[in-house]
Amino acid sequence: MSDRTLPRLLQTPAVVLLLIWMLVPLSMTLYFSFIRYVLNNLRRPEWTTPSLSNWRGFGNYEFVLKSKDFLFAIQNSLFIVCSILILTVILGVLIAVLVNRTFPGRGIVRVLLISPFFVMPAVNGVLWINMLLDPVLGLQGLAVNGLNDLAASLRDAPLIGWFFSLWPEFEPISFRATQTSAYAVIMMVTWQWTPFAVLIFMTSLQSEDQQQKEAAVLDGASTWAQFRFLTVPHLGRPIAIVVMIQAIFHLSLYAEIEIVSRGNGNKNLPYLIGEFANNNIGAASATGIFAVILANIVAIFLLRMIGKTLME
């Protein structure tokens, strides 16, 4: 045994564990996706046990592709992920620049800002959809009602009364409908992940070249020009990293969707798989394979993009 064999062998447990974790369930998914396999079927009980004699070829894939939920789930997944990415990056950059200056209580503001990131996703969903966004009992409902009451009470006031009598009655928005619940999900995840972006951008801003900035000030560059031509380019790499890490986490977004969307038609790919898996395992598996393909496309793209910078 050479001097370095044992040290190198030390990585095998991790590699083997991950390999099993990845390959065994995935190959079963692949197998199930090619057979007829349902959990309950009174007329065809033979379909309720996985067996090669129920071979269906690409039938499950066809079934999934033809179901109208599938296209919607993919579009919705991408819509939710992309919206979250755009919002967190923009908000993250702005807030990082804002908090990066020294001002009284900066440490406390930082602590306040980072807190949402540690809230567990299930609590995040329950908190937002009930206590904040509920159209009747939540803060949103209370705020809209309060505003309406205020306008109503001012209607009879002298001089300015006419102004408020022309005001519309505001309607609270229900975030439990198909499309609005996607907005609710975007809102709550953006709230949770913007702090993460802020933290990373702020760390990066601290390594910004101050001399270059001073030179720019001497040359009479406006604050906007400094931001646009010095800060934004400097943030290029951290932005790429924030996008990658968030893409990894949000493509498999589940708890928030589950809490906000049960039964109202809003779904992403993981949720659709969960729905299929209540009975039709073949279809669930085929959808799973599609999800793996989608994730791989994103992964290859992202790893290419920043893989090199990670390894430096």
Partner 1 sequence: MAIVAQTSRFSKIAWPIAAWAVGLLFFFPIFWMVLTSFKTDADAVKPEFLFFFTPTLENYLNMTENYDYWRFAANSVICSVFATVFTLFVGIPSAYAMAFNPSRSTKDVLMWMLSTKMLPAAAVLYPMTFITKNFLGIFDTHFLIILVLSLINLPIVVWMLFTYFKEIPKDIIEAGKMDGVNTWGEIREILVPLAWGGIASTALLCFIFCWNEAYWTVRLTTTDAATLSKLIEGNRAPEGLFFGRLSAVSTAAVGPIIVLGWFCQKQLVQGLTFGAVK
Does position 94 bind partner 1 by CB under 8 A?
yes
By CB under 8 A, what part of segment 204-243 binds partner 1?
Answer: 204, 207, 217, 222-224, 226-227, 237-238, 241
Structure tokens at 153: 């009470």
Structure tokens at 56: 């269906």
The answer to whether the beta carbons of residues 179 and 267 sit under 8 Å apart is no
- In whole angstroms, the minimum distance from the beta carbon of 231 to partner 1 comes to 9
CB closer to partner 1 out of 159 and 311: 311
- In whole angstroms, the minimum distance from the beta carbon of 94 to partner 1 comes to 7
The answer to whether the beta carbons of residues 195 and 115 sit under 8 Å apart is yes
**Nearby residues of 220 by Cβ (< 8 Å), 6 or more positions away:** none
Among 38, 59, 110, 234, binds partner 1 (CB under 8 A): 110
CB closer to partner 1 out of 165 and 252: 252
By CB under 8 A, what part of segment 268-287 binds partner 1?
Answer: 269-271, 273-274, 277, 281, 284-285
CB closer to partner 1 out of 132 and 151: 132
In the numeric block, the tokens 């894939």 are attached to: 61
Binding residues for partner 1, how many (CB under 8 A)? 115
Q: How far is CA 236 from CA 44, 55, 285, in A?
A: 57, 50, 38
- Alpha-carbon distance of 160 to 80, in angstroms, equals 43
Q: Which long-range contacts (CB under 8 A, 24 or more apart) does 15-18 make?
A: none
- In whole angstroms, the minimum distance from the beta carbon of 200 to partner 1 comes to 5
- In whole angstroms, the minimum distance from the beta carbon of 165 to partner 1 comes to 23
The answer to whether the beta carbons of residues 30 and 289 sit under 8 Å apart is yes
Does position 68 bind partner 1 by CB under 8 A?
no
Neighbouring CB atoms inside 10 A of 65's CB total 13
Helix residue spans in 158-279 (DSSP H) = 161-165, 178-205, 210-218, 223-226, 232-234, 236-250, 255-261, 269-276
- In whole angstroms, the minimum distance from the beta carbon of 166 to partner 1 comes to 25
Binding characters for partner 1, 152-191, by CB under 8 A (x = yes): ------------------------x--------------x
Structure tokens at 213: 């900035």
Among 145, 148, 174, 180, binds partner 1 (CB under 8 A): 145
CB closer to partner 1 out of 78 and 158: 78
Among 1, 42, 52, 108, binds partner 1 (CB under 8 A): 108
